[in-house]
Amino acid sequence: MTTSAGARYAIYFVPAAQLDFYRFGCSILGYDCYTGRDVDLLDSLHKEFANWREITGEPRRYGFHATLKAPFSLPPSRSEAALTDAFDKFAKLGHPVVHIEPEVTALGDFIAIVPRRPTPALDALANQCTTSFDAFRAPMTAKERARRMASHLSPSQMQNLDRWGYPFVFDDFRFHMTLTGPLPKAARDHIIAVLRRAFDHTCGKGEIAIDRLALVNQPDERARFRVLCQAELSR
């Protein structure tokens, strides 16, 4: 199987395509990473924000997801077929299904869905994804490192970047599903309120099961990420 030179891969949690939770995320971002197609935005967003597609431009590239292993390129010694095989084997190792109570809130200058309470088992799953798939990660380029370093990283985040190719792992990891790009502080409270109402109306108040993994692919730097394959976790 041939892999294009600019392709990247990642390990995500992507909710099952038929769930209201997933349809909600797609309608916020305007993109379905299962089909690779644009989808209609939630009606209330059209009414409230004329520039909503601009607000969600950056997260739309990635689809509605939570990152468990950040995007990486394959080294010459590794193939997509080998990565897919390792992904299937990893998913069968007996990882527990974690249930979270979701909350729409601000993380820094953007808005995301996060667990309302700490979830050590979910942190452990992300840690395992970080380490288990690192053999498939090509070293960072100088350009990639400079881009990350421009974000004013902490000392531990800089160490993570140099060792794992991504700053936000282990103690710096926080499970989240991004809903917007960066927002001015004055706009955040109103947008959070709109998104919370929309989430409650579409998804209700129940828990969300983190019950599957997705291997996703970005063919080149201009493309959007799309689900390549997925696997359910053991119950």
Residue 42 included in any domain: yes
- pLDDT of 105 > 70? The answer is yes
pLDDT digits (tens, 9 = 90+) for 30-79: 999 999 999 999 988 877 898 999 999 999 999 999 999 999 999 999 99
- At residue 149, the pLDDT reads 87
User: Higher-confidence residue: 93 or 46?
Assistant: 93
**Per-residue pLDDT averaged across 119-135, rounded?**
97
pLDDT at site 2: 47
141-174: pLDDT as tens digits: 898 899 888 788 999 999 999 999 999 999 999 9
CATH code for the domain in which residue 29 is found: 3.90.1140.10
Q: Is residue 91 part of a domain?
A: yes
Q: Which two tokens stand for residue 20?
A: 């209201």
Q: Could you tell me the pTM of the whole model?
A: 0.94
Asked whether residue 153 is assigned to any structural domain, the reply reads: no
More confident residue, 48 or 8: 8
Asked if residue 218 is part of any domain, the answer here is: yes
**Bridge-based pairing state of the strands 98-100 and 208-210:** antiparallel
| Average pLDDT for 112-139 | 97
* 155 domain-assigned: no
- Print the domain residue range for 76: 8-134+175-232
The percentage of the chain sitting over the pLDDT mark of 90, rounded to a whole number, equals 88
| pLDDT band, very low/low/confident/very high, at 235 (cuts 50, 70, 90) | low
pLDDT of 1 above 50: no
100 is a domain residue: yes
Three-point CA angle 95, 209, 174, nearest 5°: 75
Write the CB contacts of 179 (distance below 8 Å, at least 6 apart in sequence): 25, 28, 29, 56, 59, 104, 110, 111, 112, 113, 195
Whole-number mean pLDDT of the chain?
94
How many domains in the chain? 1
Asked, for residue 22, whether it belongs to a domain, the answer is yes
The answer to whether 212 touches 230, Cβ cutoff 8 Å, is yes
pLDDT value at residue 152:
87
